[in-house]
A and B are shown apart, each in its own frame.
Chain A
Amino acid sequence: MKRIDPVPGEWIDRTRRVGFMFEGRPVEGFQGDTYSSALLANDIHVLGRSFKYHRPRGVLSAANHDVNVMFQVEHSAQAGGSRSVPNVRGDVEPLRADANITVVNTSGGVERDRMAMMDRFSRFLPVGFYYKAFHSKRTFPRWERMIRRAAGLGHVDPRATRRPTAKRYAHTDVLVIGAGPSGLAAAVEAAERGAQVLLADDTARPGGSGLYTRGGGNVDRRVTELAAAALAHPRIQFLAQTFASGYYADLWVPLVAGDHLIKVRARAVVVAQGAFEQPAVFRGNDLPGVMLASGAQRLMYRYAVAPASRVAILTANSEGYLAALDAKARGLDVLGVLDLRESVHESETRLVETVRARGISIRYGVQPVEARAGADHRLSEIEFEVTARDGGPSRHRWMVDGLWMSVGFAPANQLLHQAGARMRFDAAIQQFVPERLPPGVFACGKVAGYFDLAGRLTNGRETGAAAAEHAGVGPTRSSSTSSSVPGSTSSSTSGGALGSTSSSAPGAGAKGPNHPRAARGSPSHEYPIFPHPKGKEFVDFDEDLHLRDIANAFQEGFDSSELLKRYSTVGMGPSQGKHSNLNAMRVLARLRGESVETVGATTSRPMFHPVPLSHLAGRAFYPQRRTALHSEHEALGAVWMPAGDWQRPEYYARTDEARKASIEAEVRAVRTGVGLIDVGTLGKIEAHGAGAAGFLDRAYAGQFSTLKVGMTRYGLLLDESGVIVDDGVIARLGDERFYFTTTTGNSGSLFREFGRLATWWRLPVGLVNLTGHFSAFNIAGPAARAVLAELTPVDLSQAAFPYLGVREGEVAGVRCRLMRVGFVGEIGYEIHLPAGDATTVWRALMRAGERHGIRAFGVEAQRILRLEKGHIIVGQDTDGLTNPLEINAGWAVRMNKPFFVGQRSLRILESRPLRQQLVGFKLRDGSAARPKESHLIIDAGRIAGRVTSIVESPTLGATIGLALVDPDMAKRNELHIRVERGEEVVVTVVPLPFYDAPGARQRLEEAAASPLETTA
């Protein structure tokens, strides 16, 4: 066991042992361990295989970026049965007792992965291999299968049940992302000033690197006090194990928690995500045992695990020396510190003396040559050269099982990039720092270039104050800010906060030589990259890219950062370049002979870190509406279909009828007796006031100021380009009172548009949306008047209530509006009434209609009925370019009005040839194939139109339809429609309507006695 003595502040509970299975063998850890820490504690170091070459890999960062240590985890005791989860990151996933884990992407297990032979063929898999090898359509499927088998990660468990992952909204004054020292200081300061603060961190406890960068001592008191203050503060809510996956406009940040997504809208956002420690690039830098110094410190202090017994520290900054002291303090054998630099910064002199005093040797001007593995795949030996101060080059070999790298950092500034921050490369600290931040966005700590603890605390505190001020929260204390924040110090050399409270006050990024961190030496080496003749100096562990790959891509012309990324795939693996982008850009900059700043960073897009699809899917809201008669339809056997947000009966199923028979019977009932359909989904709007008629005249293409009270008129609604967008019936209920309908799908958007137009035109009109509050149904058929007459005192005679009339009166004791309309081609009355009374009247009509064989009819029957009558459906028989002239609806347009929406465009269109024209057609007898909607009209091999509607008409005993065709086609007798399998069907063009051309039946002009008059 590699478990070390108890460490103050460790995250494990040594009283609770947890057993699990790893690659078929039992392993034991403690509650609080991760899989990686528990495995290392059991002296298991090969935890994964690399993506392409299947090289053995171990812990690199222990910070949620160890993408080569991903497991397939099966929880056998999962509620509802076992569940297997792929690509679980071992470095952060908490241990679970019931887990059975295997390493992803192996063939035969992690120890004896048969695919490891790929490592020997690496020179046959150069950069761009995919592009070069798989361009043949013939061989690609075979290659694809092979590659997927070889390089795939975990597998999705089809047994998995859907987990509800609710999305939540949260609102706060200040959102602080990252609970390291600077984030804590910012959060506490903002809260002290009265701000409500959300503090999110991807780890379980606040403190960040302050908890594990100890230099051999205890956690700095300032960090522990700040963490305690943050957790206890009534205005701070700490969200543990929660990360920000991106930044979106207007301070909108999604936080990803364990089982749900939180959408945070903050008044100010503080990015305090720190920096990712970067690896050095040298041959063998990927061996298990070679890791980031911060990763080793996390393992020692969080989980009390010694990741090695004999270690060397490869460094170029003071953090490496602190790591050496930590290793020594935890009882490890530290062979020495290997400093890439020729000398240390003067500010580090005392630290170096302390290291020497612990008996740790220090070599300067070191160049790593190679790390080698033993038979167990683990690091066993390092070879390095020492130059300069030690008297010329000399080569050395050390036998070690741990090499900890601390050669530099890359700021975790992805969210700042997404927020639109302008960054600049500060050569003094070899890091991009924010130069200008958008209003409300702030940055502090390492991401802003502050690395020493005192500087981070001061910077965090100042940033928290600025964020609170931006959020509109003023200072609440008279004393200085530093006195109230635990851990604050007056000795800081930190500069101002890197935020701005307005666009005119850009963030004041610390500048060049005056940068406080520069005064302490750079935390990052400018080029920690050491080529080896045999290669395998890995730049990107995710994608197995070594130094030669980058050079080759450059040589092939992929010489910009974005091109290089796409060709080589650097930074495109699961860690999204967190450990590779900076080094890749350094290499590219050197190859181009330019600076890193000139080469620039690649674009950072959300997601910042992989987010489970279950979180993104979450609980979605798809509003569904029901009419007031829903339960009546249910009782009648309605088969439902969606219509916009609504559920509508497609038809009413009867046990003794098939679908087609039911629909035909519904059609027949309307044509020969009486039918009743729920049209409550129509948009229903009232317009009141002196400007109501003028408003409708301007909004619609027809004229309504001339409409008599008590009458209705068909209305076409156009957009500015003269295209039909909607239609409906406008009823005049009084001089200054109109009631009108819109199509089902457009009711909401049109009401908003009408409101906008009324405001824009400054007309004295009041609009009321009654859509959901009013119910409506249409009773239609030769017997409709007789049925209705039994229930209403309204005079339904032709003289008193003519076709297109509207009346108000009671039906079955309920006050209703009755409109005589003829959409289905028979005498009919649309009955509009308050939704709460709909059931009463519907039932009364059904009862009264029994002796006439009344039948409820659905949308499908209505589609047939209206098509027989040649009536269009906007959106089906029109498209996004159709104007009224093309559908023969010029009669519904009054061009002589002073103005209406679309008038100017229509005037232009009038002077031009028609683009298309609506025609009716009938399928010829004996046609084997039946066209469908959207089938194309073909003329001499070219597309000359399309079918918009087609039905089998039981009334006419024929298949009839509408088509939009080239205008010259409308003059022909026949059309050729291309159907499935390339067949062509010839149909006959016929005049519209197909049924009752004079309109006698709907007008009630001798309707009952008149025979059906058809064109079909």
Chain B
Amino acid sequence: MSAGVVIDVVSGRGRVGCKGPGAPAWLEKHGITVPDAPNRYAIDSSGVLSARLATSEFLIEATNDGAASVVEPVRRALEYADFPQGVYPVLRQDFVLEISGAEAAGLFNQTCAVDLEPVARQSTAADGPVIMTSMIGVSVVLVCQQLSEGRRFSVWSDPSYSAYFHSQLLAIVTDRGTSP
């Protein structure tokens, strides 16, 4: 595991969102397996992350270049007004961070009131709970992956907060003390 905190900005990944009663079946038809339960995520073998944010709301993201070829057709299918009945497009222009490193927990305990330890314990490299919470005062969607090199948290937020995220996390990482 990397020492300190590693923060990667991965906003540029292919990403699409949709909701509506017809969304699960429609996504399945496009080769995207969605988690069975709300507030869960799963990453399939090709690297497509599918997060079920509510009963019928989904965030789909390509975690690698290969997965982008799966996600892009879905995104394009929702780009115009003739999208299928019961499926509503959700534009996702998120600012996305991946946070890892030995002291990532120390960063989170200064920025987020939610106990992420149980989240991490319930997560594997390919699935786990989805947490909707607040970080530095901003609403975020958060998941954790337990990788061989350690835990990695992915954080999605509204893109209008990107500069604020940059400045706050940098300040905290710069003068972070020991965690309790």
Interface residues of chain A, those whose CB is within 8 Å of chain B, are 164, 166-171, 198, 237, 239, 255, 257, 259-260, 262-265, 619, 621-628, 630, 646, 686, 688-689, 733-734, 737, 766, 768, 770-774, 808, 815, 834-836
Of all A-B residue pairs in the complex, the 9 with the closest CB atoms, nearest first, are: A772-B158, A171-B115, A621-B137, A625-B160, A772-B160, A688-B88, A773-B93, A773-B91, A623-B137
Is B66 in contact with chain A by the CB < 8 A criterion?
A: no
**Hey, which chain A residues are within 8 Å of B115, CB to CB?**
169, 171, 265
> In the complex, A569 Cα to B160 Cα: how many Å?
52
Q: A164-B175, A168-B179 are in contact. Are A619 and B110 (CB under 8 A)?
A: yes
Q: What is the minimal beta-carbon distance from B57 to any residue of chain A, in angstroms?
A: 8
Among candidates A170, A257, A688, residue contacting B20 with C-beta atoms closer than 8 Å: A688
Is B81 in contact with chain A by the CB < 8 A criterion?
A: yes
Evaluate contact between A168 and B109: CB separation under 8 angstroms: yes
> In the complex, A627 Cα to B159 Cα: how many Å?
9
Evaluate contact between A768 and B93: CB separation under 8 angstroms: no
**Hey, which chain B residues are within 8 Å of A624, CB to CB?**
161, 163-164
Q: A166-B177, A766-B88, A834-B91 are in contact. Are A646 and B109 (CB under 8 A)?
A: no
Is B152 in contact with chain A by the CB < 8 A criterion?
A: no
Q: A170-B180, A621-B137 are in contact. Are A630 and B163 (CB under 8 A)?
A: yes
The residue in chain A whose Cβ has the minimal distance to the Cβ of B108 is A169
Contacts A626-B162, A689-B20, A773-B94 aside, 15 further interface pairs with beta carbons under 8 A come to A166-B110, A169-B110, A169-B113, A170-B109, A265-B115, A619-B171, A621-B168, A624-B163, A624-B164, A733-B81, A771-B160, A772-B159, A772-B160, A773-B159, A835-B160
Evaluate contact between A768 and B19: CB separation under 8 angstroms: yes
**Hey, which chain A residues are within 8 Å of B19, CB to CB?**
766, 768
> In the complex, A646 Cα to B159 Cα: how many Å?
12
> In the complex, A66 Cα to B20 Cα: how many Å?
65
The residue in chain A whose Cβ has the minimal distance to the Cβ of B23 is A766
Evaluate contact between B175 and A646: CB separation under 8 angstroms: no
Among candidates A619, A623, A734, residue contacting B161 with C-beta atoms closer than 8 Å: A623
**Hey, which chain B residues are within 8 Å of A265, CB to CB?**
113, 115
Evaluate contact between B112 and A169: CB separation under 8 angstroms: yes
> In the complex, A619 Cα to B159 Cα: how many Å?
23
Among candidates A168, A688, A766, A770, residue contacting B180 with C-beta atoms closer than 8 Å: A168
Q: A733-B81, A773-B92 are in contact. Are A623 and B164 (CB under 8 A)?
A: yes
Is B8 in contact with chain A by the CB < 8 A criterion?
A: no
Is B117 in contact with chain A by the CB < 8 A criterion?
A: yes
The residue in chain B whose Cβ has the minimal distance to the Cβ of A625 is B160
Q: What is the minimal beta-carbon distance from A926 to any residue of chain B, in angstroms?
A: 47
User: Interface size bucket, B side?
Assistant: 35 or more
**Hey, which chain A residues are within 8 Å of B56, CB to CB?**
766
**Hey, which chain B residues are within 8 Å of A168, CB to CB?**
109-110, 179-180
> In the complex, A598 Cα to B50 Cα: how many Å?
64
**Hey, which chain B residues are within 8 Å of A626, CB to CB?**
160, 162-164
Evaluate contact between B161 and A808: CB separation under 8 angstroms: no
Is B102 in contact with chain A by the CB < 8 A criterion?
A: no
> In the complex, A626 Cα to B115 Cα: how many Å?
29
> In the complex, A1011 Cα to B17 Cα: how many Å?
49
Is B37 in contact with chain A by the CB < 8 A criterion?
A: no
**Hey, which chain A residues are within 8 Å of B94, CB to CB?**
773
Evaluate contact between A686 and B88: CB separation under 8 angstroms: yes
**Hey, which chain A residues are within 8 Å of B112, CB to CB?**
169
Q: What is the minimal beta-carbon distance from B133 to any residue of chain A, in angstroms?
A: 11
The residue in chain B whose Cβ has the minimal distance to the Cβ of A764 is B21
Q: What is the minimal beta-carbon distance from A216 to any residue of chain B, in angstroms?
A: 38
> In the complex, A255 Cα to B113 Cα: how many Å?
15
**Hey, which chain B residues are within 8 Å of A774, CB to CB?**
91
Evaluate contact between A625 and B161: CB separation under 8 angstroms: yes
Of B88, B136, B172, chain A has the most CB atoms within 10 Å of the CB of: B88
Is B30 in contact with chain A by the CB < 8 A criterion?
A: no
The residue in chain B whose Cβ has the minimal distance to the Cβ of A733 is B81
The residue in chain A whose Cβ has the minimal distance to the Cβ of B111 is A621
> In the complex, A734 Cα to B172 Cα: how many Å?
47
The residue in chain B whose Cβ has the minimal distance to the Cβ of A200 is B180
The residue in chain A whose Cβ has the minimal distance to the Cβ of B137 is A621
Q: What is the minimal beta-carbon distance from A939 to any residue of chain B, in angstroms?
A: 46
Evaluate contact between B180 and A737: CB separation under 8 angstroms: no
**Hey, which chain B residues are within 8 Å of A686, CB to CB?**
88
> In the complex, A771 Cα to B94 Cα: how many Å?
11
> In the complex, A169 Cα to B134 Cα: how many Å?
13
> In the complex, A321 Cα to B177 Cα: how many Å?
45
> In the complex, A710 Cα to B119 Cα: how many Å?
46
